[in-house]
Amino acid sequence: MELKTPYLLFLGDVPDALAAKTALGIVDWRRDWCVGQWRLEGCAADAGLPDMDAAAGARAGARTMVVGAVNAGGVLPDHWVASIVAALEAGMDVATGLHQKLSDIPEIKAAAEAHGGQLLDVRHSTERFATGKGAKRPGRRLLTVGTDCSVGKKYTVLALESGMRDAGFDADFKATGQTGVFISGRGVAIDAVVADFISGAAEWLTPAADPNHWDLVEGQGSLFHPSFAGVSLGLLHGSQPDAFVVCHEPTRTKMRGVQHPLPSIREVIDLTVRCGSLTNPEIRCVGIAVNTAALGEAEARAMLDEMAGEHGLPATDPVRFGVAPIVEEIKRSFPTA
């Protein structure tokens, strides 16, 4: 699935910034792809872009309107349908990361057919994936893994893409979630793939490559999360990573949405190595990425120093302090072939 840029970001009338996290993530990493935002009356989120409707967005050059909002259940609110129809009438494609398919809504399907617009449901790939084979293939791969969901796996791997390229690596971000697909313009939402084909989809996403090329794979869920560990394991086996980075949010005690306690970083490293060795016996951890947004700078730096000493690995906040220590560890651990 590939999306045409630039984007008009549709925020609807979401109640807060968290509900617009897809749009905000796109702006954080691909600001130059965005011409504006379309907010309905009552919208409490702001992506910091010029406000415009469909007609203005089309005049500004937008080729795809991205529904940059999420809600419980992933269903499109009825009162957003008219805006999507307007975008199609203005000549744009429309993309969403919702579970509900745009083509299942008669008014939207009719407008797309009438005006030649594409309906892009990034959670629903049209690709037919094979089952995973687990065969070793050339090229290097890095996967972000987490102590929990929503701990910065996507932001870490995007920061690594930038940092590794600056350091001379041939490296590409590989999106495995809907927001990541919008940020990269292509990819597969791995949590919507039928379970038997998750590892195969990850193999498809990270094919054989030059021995010095790095695919940087956006992690999903956590091997310790009772709701999403199946997705995490399939992604681990299929992406066959040579390296992984553990992502962590230090203020949590329980995993999101459940009562299970948060695992330790050591437990995540050990289980990732044990499970990942099935398809890559040489798998190793190259760093720890910590979201320190809730901590003061001195407290954050002290905690990162302690983690680095405890695990013998570089520890950093990729957004706050950068990824240079992890990039240096990758250089040391994987000399150019």
Residues 259, 162 share a domain: yes
Residues 176, 56 share a domain: no
Contacts 24+ apart (CB under 8 A), 255-259: 255/148, 255/149, 255/222, 255/224, 255/225, 255/226, 256/148, 256/149, 256/150, 256/225, 257/149, 257/227, 258/225, 258/226, 258/227
Residues 45, 176 share a domain: no
Report the pLDDT value the prediction gives residue 73, as an integer from 0 to 100.
Answer: 67
pTM over 0.85: yes
Mean pLDDT by runs of 10 across the 337 residues of the chain is 91 92 92 97 97 98 94 82 98 92 96 96 87 96 96 96 97 94 89 94 97 97 96 98 98 93 97 98 98 96 98 97 98 89
Query: Among residues 62, 92, 121, which one ends one of the domains?
Result: 121
Tell me whether residue 111 is in a domain.
yes
- For residue 227 the two structure tokens come to 């709701």
Report the pLDDT value the prediction gives residue 336, as an integer from 0 to 100.
Answer: 83
Provide the 10 A C-beta neighbour count for residue 337. 8
Tell me whether residue 254 is in a domain.
yes
Residues 298, 257 share a domain: yes
Residues 210, 269 share a domain: yes
Report the pLDDT value the prediction gives residue 1, as an integer from 0 to 100.
Answer: 64
User: Rounded to whole angstroms, how far apart are CA atoms 122 and 179?
Assistant: 9
Report the pLDDT value the prediction gives residue 158, as an integer from 0 to 100.
Answer: 96
Asked whether 225 and 232 are in contact (CB, 8 A), the reply is yes
Report the pLDDT value the prediction gives residue 208, as an integer from 0 to 100.
Answer: 97
Tell me whether residue 91 is in a domain.
yes
User: Into how many domains does the chain fold?
Assistant: 2
State the residue for tokens 């909002």: 69
Report the pLDDT value the prediction gives residue 247, as an integer from 0 to 100.
Answer: 98
In which domain, by residue range, is 18 found?
7-121
Query: Among residues 121, 150, 173, which one ends one of the domains?
Result: 121
- For residue 185 the two structure tokens come to 């313009």
Report the pLDDT value the prediction gives residue 125, as an integer from 0 to 100.
Answer: 78
